Amino acid sequence: MKKLLMSLVAITSVVWFVGCSKNDGGSGGVSNCPVGSSWNGTYCVNSNGTIVNPTPTAKNYGDYSFYFSFEQGLYRPDLRGNLQIYDAAAYKVFLKEAMKVCDLSTWNWGGAGCDSWVQGSLQVSFSIDSSLKPTVDFRAVPAQTYWSGNLGFFTGGATLNPLQLYSNTTFSLINNSKGFEIRSNGSSWNAGGLGLIQIQVANGTLNDSQFTYKLFYKNATTPFATGTFKSY
């Protein structure tokens, strides 16, 4: 699994955690945090939830419905991940608008139709550098009937596959600092698909080797996909 996940995105992975010393401070395990910040059990954070320390370095996480690789020409439905499509209709909107891989014209049958992509696989991975700036990567393939090993798809015009997000991404703590959220407004190359993309982890930190997550598009209250990220 670890070896396979390394092909999701070519992002250098390094060890994550730099420790933060603790003392009881008279209140049961309060860290020696800088003035104006407080210990939340994992980080020193300021009043708006921004992490003050420990300062992280990059660590990578990924998940998929089943494994595939454009670079290796692999399509392996037998190698299952944890990602599951929760709302197929919302996922088709994400595929059409944010990734521009299907339902782009009146010719929307076969591999050009989003229905065939719902039957395929979605891969998502992310990395965060020492400034807490996330890089996010989405990749998708349609059902195996429409798979082409050298391109990864056979639709005649997918333009944002992979969909790689960096310039507009943000990282923030949520759920009383028990979890975190990554946000981006889509690719700057895609003026028609700049809807808000959210990765929400209700409970988990970047010190964990895995955590469950939900994917949202365009301020939806229902996720279009759920799964479990694992570090690699």
Instruction: Give CA–CA dist 61/228, Å, rounded.
Output: 9
CA distances from 203 to 32, 87, 210, 220 (A): 24, 22, 11, 20
For the chain, the average pLDDT equals 80
User: What average pLDDT does this structure show over 202-215?
Assistant: 93
What integer pLDDT is reported at residue 81 of this predicted model?
97
What integer pLDDT is reported at residue 16 of this predicted model?
36
Q: Which amino acid type is present at position 215?
A: L
User: What average pLDDT does this structure show over 64-74?
Assistant: 91
Task: Give yes or no for a contact between 137 and 8, defined as CB atoms under 8 angstroms apart.
Answer: yes
Question: Picking from 8-17, 85-94, 177-186, 220-229, which range would have the lowest pLDDT averaged per residue?
Answer: 8-17
Residues 6+ apart with CB under 8 A from 92: 102, 103, 114, 115, 117, 118
What integer pLDDT is reported at residue 13 of this predicted model?
35
Asked whether the predicted pLDDT for residue 53 surpasses 70, the reply is yes
Q: Which amino acid type is present at position 203?
A: N
Asked whether the predicted pLDDT for residue 2 surpasses 80, the reply is no
What integer pLDDT is reported at residue 126 of this predicted model?
97
DSSP string covering the chain:
-HHHHTTS-------------B--TTSSS-B-PPTT-EE-SS-EE-TT--EEESPP--EEEEEESEEEETTTTEEEEEEE-S-EES-HHHHHHIIIIII--S--SS--SGGGSHHHHHTSEEEEEEEE-TT--EEEEEEEE--GGG--TTTS--SS---SSSEEE-TT-EEEEETTTTEEEEEE---TT-GGG---EEEEESS--TTSSEEEEEEEETT-SS-SEEEEEEE-
Going by C-alpha positions, the residue among 4, 3, 13, 1 that lies closest to residue 126 is 13
Question: Picking from 124-128, 129-133, 142-146, which range would have the lowest pLDDT averaged per residue?
Answer: 129-133
What integer pLDDT is reported at residue 219 of this predicted model?
93
Asked whether the predicted pLDDT for residue 193 surpasses 70, the reply is yes
Question: Picking from 27-31, 51-55, 70-74, 95-99, which range would have the lowest pLDDT averaged per residue?
Answer: 27-31
Asked whether the predicted pLDDT for residue 28 surpasses 50, the reply is no
Q: Does pTM surpass 0.85?
A: no
* Residue 142 Cα to chain centre, angstroms: 19
Question: Picking from 1-10, 19-28, 157-166, which range would have the lowest pLDDT averaged per residue?
Answer: 19-28
